Amino acid sequence: GADHVMGRDAAFPPKAFSAAIDVVGGAGFQRIIEALIPGGRYATSGAIAGPLVELDLRTLYLNDITLFGCTFTPAEVFSRLVGMVNDGRIRPLVSRTYPLEEIHAAQADFMSKKYPGKLVLIPPRD
């Protein structure tokens, strides 16, 4: 489990954390890397704030930081996750729903990045 969970806008103390999990990417990347202790680990599985990051490579190699890209999930893990959702043990964060006809509004809201949860399109019942 995590010892600390911090928002991206928090002031990260330098060289304070052994690991960081970041699914946002973008401009905050370098600050997160600098908050890792020597030998620290950074894992990512998303880039909603942008796929391109700036990195001073010296921060990486002088501190022996390890980067992990995480996208693969075995089928049994996904099945178990779906079961937990169906059983009500976990609930996805849904920020807003839209009828399918409002797909353009949903896309605009998604691109604005103003909602923290999922945006869901509801197809017609016909």
* Tens of pLDDT, residues 56-107: 999 999 999 999 998 878 889 889 989 999 999 998 899 999 999 999 999 9
pLDDT of residue 119: 94
Domains and CATH numbers, the chain: 17-69 (3.40.50.720), 75-122 (no CATH)
Contact 102, 123 (CB under 8 A): no
pLDDT of residue 61: 96
Distance (Å, rounded) from C-alpha 81 to C-alpha 62? 38
Distance (Å, rounded) from C-alpha 63 to C-alpha 82? 39
Distance (Å, rounded) from C-alpha 47 to C-alpha 45? 7
Contact 98, 71 (CB under 8 A): no
Give the pLDDT band of residue 1 (cuts 50, 70, 90).
low
The pTM of the full predicted model, rounded to 2 decimals, is 0.63
Give the pLDDT band of residue 117 (cuts 50, 70, 90).
confident
Query: Per-residue pLDDT tens for 23-58?
Result: 888 888 999 999 999 999 999 998 888 889 999 999
